[in-house]
Amino acid sequence: MSELTLTVMRLGFLAVLWLFVIVAVQVIRSDLFGTRVTQRGSRREAPRAQQPARGASAPPQQRQQSGRQRRGAPTKLVVSEGSLTGTTVALQGQTITLGRAHDSTIVLDDDYASSRHARIYPDRDGQWIVEDLGSTNGTYLDRTRLTTPTPIPLGAPIRIGKTVIELRK
Amino acid sequence: MSVVTNTTTIGAIDAPSRRNTELALLAFAVAIPVFAYLNVGLALDGKVPSGMLGYGLGLGLMAGVAHLVVRKFAKYADPLLLPLATLLNGLGLVLIWRLDQSPRLIQRAERLFHSHSADAPKQLMFSAIGIALFVAVLIVLKDHRVLQRYTYISMVLALILLILPMFFPAVNGAKIWIKLGPFTVQPGEFAKIIIAVFFSGYLMVKRDALALASRRFMGLYLPRGRDLGPILAVWVMSILVLVFETDLGTSLLFFGLFVVMLYVATERTSWIVFGLLMSAAGAVGVASFEPHVQQRVEFWLDPFAEATLQQSDQAAQALMSFGSGGVLGTGLGQGNSDLIGFAANSDFILSTVGEEFGLAGMMAFLIVYGLIVERGVRTALAARDPFGKLLAIGLSGAFAIQVFVVAGGVMGLIPLTGMTMPFVAYGGSSVLANWALIGILIRISDTARRPAPAPAPSPDAELTQVVRP
């Protein structure tokens, strides 16, 4: 066997061995990151959006944000406290439901949250509104407990149980 | 209703079973040894080795059976343990087969024993039995907490296994084998699992007494005299093993394992300090009057001395082979690690790794061992019951100490001891015991990662705790 072949095989073997080690380390990477983000396609979502039973009232007319985006409008929702800390959701005109129910947009793993706790949605002008859905412990904007749908100022903390979320640019 | 695009769902992670990840990694772990086998054949004979298909199929079949059993009986087990162990076992087989081909070793065997028999087929058979044992552990042991019932029985059993070799003749200066008809068994390998069961059962009950009932003295927590009883007993036992069986490795393994488990159970640093002091005192004491141990220490301190080389040049040859391997190695089948002669394919197999794979391959090997230990520790962290936690720590600790003792001995970091590198080295007891160990770890990790029983069918019915101001 020629010297060249053997050298290639020797280096190839080392490369494969290390590749295995790297793949193995990639597999355990999930130990470090506790949350999983799943993109749901539009096709699966379409029939679901038509179920009015999900909220107390039918969600307001949603529209694509194109052309409607105002200056200073928030672009993402950030969880700043609680077990999901660090999670962000892009705001793209969709209604965000929060609660312990498994079909919520943000599933809160929080003993003090209700199954369907609150929802956040944009109104006709693109202003984001938070509405409490009759939760047990209430939803707080800053320090005040919500009784009606309320516009969310940028950066104001919304507290649900032990979880705090806010809207950011 | 407008169609919503790009909706995101975010939830706390639910443990996926990850069996397909395991299967993919397992295929990879079988492919690497087959590649290595081809490499050895091409380097030694210049042609594709004839046994390659059979060897690859054999290893693949064993791995496949193990995978199917894990899929059926331990669905949520850790996905890495099985592929890592398979890779080590497969590469070990290749290395043993490579050393079987060495003309020097064949000549040596014919000069000394007038016959040479290849070790690789035997090791392949041992691996098959080992995987069968692994499968049996997974099928029989439905819940690792059953082992807790046998705490004191396992203590007695471990003591018997440790003492038994004293009554059998010494092989190569160490009494660690027992002869049962045609088979020789190394009971210490099995004792390490059994004694980990005893330590976890014992410490689970006694951990509070050991951790809390202590006096503070110079920043250290001194345990009460009566709590010192067990640690002294284990210390005396390990010293006795050292004195009567002249087996440094086993003695180090048991005492080290006990100190690790004491530390994990009580969270007291003072146990580590005590353990290190006691083992140092014991080792120095024994080394000063036991000639076999004394000799080992001398070989370690000065492997290239005239007096050492006259008796045994193994340690020197091992160091030379590491040196000649360099960073990238000489390539499989092209090294001269067979100069080590005796035990080249068991205790000293790491020097073949070091020479033919080089530093780069050696590091990969050690990382694979490290990953097995890491998965064991991770299993211990995730386990929900204290017995499972301690047992997982104990088993991975024993594995880690064994790797350290062997690798350290071959590389000249500590005196050489008669232990085998798990999975890689030739030896039936070692392969069997380590597959059983991996089986128990997989069982614990399955219990640990299995999702909690499903919540009530209607999520709306779940009670929300009320904040009371």
Nearest Cα of chain A lies from the Cα of B90 at a distance, in angstroms, of: 12
**pLDDT score recorded for residue A124:** 81
**Closest Cα of chain A to B408: distance in Å?**
22
Taking alpha carbons only, the member of B296, B300, B346, B344 closest to residue B321 is B344
CB A77 within 8 A of CB A94: no
Instruction: State which residue of chain B sits closest to A93, comparing Cα positions.
Output: B4
DSSP state of B462: S
Nearest-CA neighbor of B362 among B330, B385, B394, B384?
B330
User: Best residue in A2, A4, A10, A98 to probe B by mutation, most B CBs within 10 Å?
Assistant: A10
In the block, tokens 């086998």 appear at: B37
Residue A120, CB-side half-sphere exposure with 13 Å CA sphere: 28
Does the CB of B8 have a partner CB in chain A at under 8 Å? yes
Element spanning B256, H or E = helix B248-266
Instruction: Please give the single-letter amino acid code of residue A11.
Output: L
Q: What parts of chain B have a pLDDT lower than 70?
A: 1-15, 171-174, 181-182, 213-228, 230-231, 242, 452-464, 468-469
First to last CA, chain B: 42
Distance from CA of A145 to the nearest CA of B (A): 13
pLDDT band at A17 (very low <50, low <70, confident <90, very high): very high
What value does the mean pLDDT take over residues A50-56? 41
Q: What is the DSSP string of A102-120?
A: TTSSEE---TTS-SS-EEE
Query: Is residue B325 less than 8 Å (CB to CB) from chain A?
Result: no
B229-268 pLDDT per residue, tens? 766 777 787 777 767 777 777 888 888 888 898 888 888 7
Contact B439, B77 (CB under 8 A): no
Q: How far apart are CA B279 and CA A108, in angstroms?
A: 51
Collect all residues of chain B within an 8 Å Cβ-Cβ radius of residue A102.
Answer: 11, 459
- Which chain A residue has its CA at the smallest distance from B363's CA? A18
Q: pLDDT at position B377, please?
A: 93
> What's the CA angle centered on A123, arms A121 and A126, to 5 degrees?
95
Q: Does residue A125 or residue B194 have the better pLDDT?
A: B194
pLDDT at position A51 is: 42
Answer whether A24 sits within 8 Å of B368, measured CB to CB: yes
CA distance B163 to B240: 9
What's the one-letter identity of residue A104? S
Dihedral pair phi/psi, residue B375, rounded to 5°: -65, -35
* B29 near A CB under 8 A: yes
Output the pLDDT for position B469: 63
CA distance B402 to B396: 10
- Give the distance from residue B21's alpha carbon to the nearest chain A alpha carbon, in angstroms: 8
CA distance linking residue B426 with residue B95, whole number of Å? 9
CB B154 within 8 A of CB B162: no
Q: B462 vs A115: CB contact, 8 Å cut-off?
A: yes
Per-residue confidence (pLDDT) for residue B456, from 0 to 100: 53
Q: Does B98 touch chain A (CB under 8 A)?
A: no
Confidence of residue A47 (pLDDT cuts 50, 70, 90): very low
End-to-end CA distance of chain A: 64
B374 CB neighbours in chain A (<8 A) are: 28
Q: At what angle do helices B386-411 and B314-325 cross, to 10 degrees?
A: 90
* Long-range interactions of B268-275: CB distance < 8 A, separation 24+: B268/B210, B268/B211, B268/B214, B268/B221, B268/B223, B269/B220, B270/B214, B270/B220, B270/B221, B270/B222, B270/B223, B271/B223, B271/B231, B273/B220, B274/B231, B275/B231
Q: Where are the alpha helices (DSSP H) in B339-384?
A: 349-356, 358-382
Give the closest residue to B244 by CA, choosing from B177, B165, B297. B165
Domains of chain B by residue range: 145-453
CB atoms A11 and B328 under 8 Å: yes
Residue B185's beta-bridge partner residues?
B178
* Residue among A46, A112, A161 minimizing CB distance to B3: A46
Distance in angstroms (rounded) separating the CA atoms of residues B328 and B359: 6
Q: Which amino acid is at A144?
A: T
Listed by number, the residues of chain B in 421-440 with a beta carbon closer than 8 Å to a beta carbon of chain A are: none
pLDDT score recorded for residue B259: 87
Check if A32 contacts B (Cβ < 8 Å).
Answer: no
Which residue is associated with the tokens 């516009």?
A151
Measured CA to CA, the distance from residue A109 to residue A161 in angstroms comes to 10
Radius of gyration of chain A (CA): 23
The answer to whether residue B460 neighbours chain A at the CB level (below 8 Å) is yes
| pTM beyond cutoff 0.90 | no
- Search chain A and give the residue with CA nearest B330: A10
Nearest of B5, B339, B237 to residue A43 by alpha carbon: B5
Residue, of A1 and B112, whose pLDDT is higher: B112
Residue B111 has what pLDDT? 83
Residue of B230 and A53 predicted with greater confidence: B230
**How many other C-beta atoms lie within 10 A of the C-beta of residue B6?**
13
Q: Do A27 and B42 touch (CB under 8 A)?
A: no
Q: Is B178 touching A (CB cutoff 8 A)?
A: no
- Nearest CB neighbour to A109, from listed B12, B357, B459: B12
Q: Does A156 touch chain B (CB under 8 A)?
A: no
CA distance A113 to A102: 13
B322: Cα separation from own chain's centroid: 22
SS3 B208: helix
pLDDT at residue number B265: 87
B456 part of contact set with chain A, CB < 8 Å = no
For an interface test with A, give the residue of B6, B330, B355 to mutate (most A CBs within 10 A): B6
> Are A24 and B35 an interchain contact pair (Cβ–Cβ within 8 Å)?
no
The rounded distance, in Å, linking the Cα atoms of B310 and B145 is 53
Chain B contact set for A119 (CB, 8 A):
none
Helix and strand numbers, DSSP H then E, in chain A: 2, 12
Distance from CA of B65 to the nearest CA of A (A): 21
**Closest-CA residue to B161 (of B196, B205, B203):** B196
Tell me the one-letter amino acid at B299: F
* Helix H or strand E encompassing B217: strand B214-217
Strand (E) or helix (H) holding A99: strand A96-99
Q: Would you state the structure tokens that stand for residue A135, as one six-digit string? A: 């939760």
Three-state DSSP string of B300-321: HHCCCCHHHHHHCCHHHHHHHH
| B5:A42 CB<8 A | yes
- Average pLDDT on A5-32 reads 87
- Residue-level pLDDT at A63: 42
d(CA B153, nearest CA chain A) in Å: 36
Q: Residue A71: what pLDDT?
A: 61
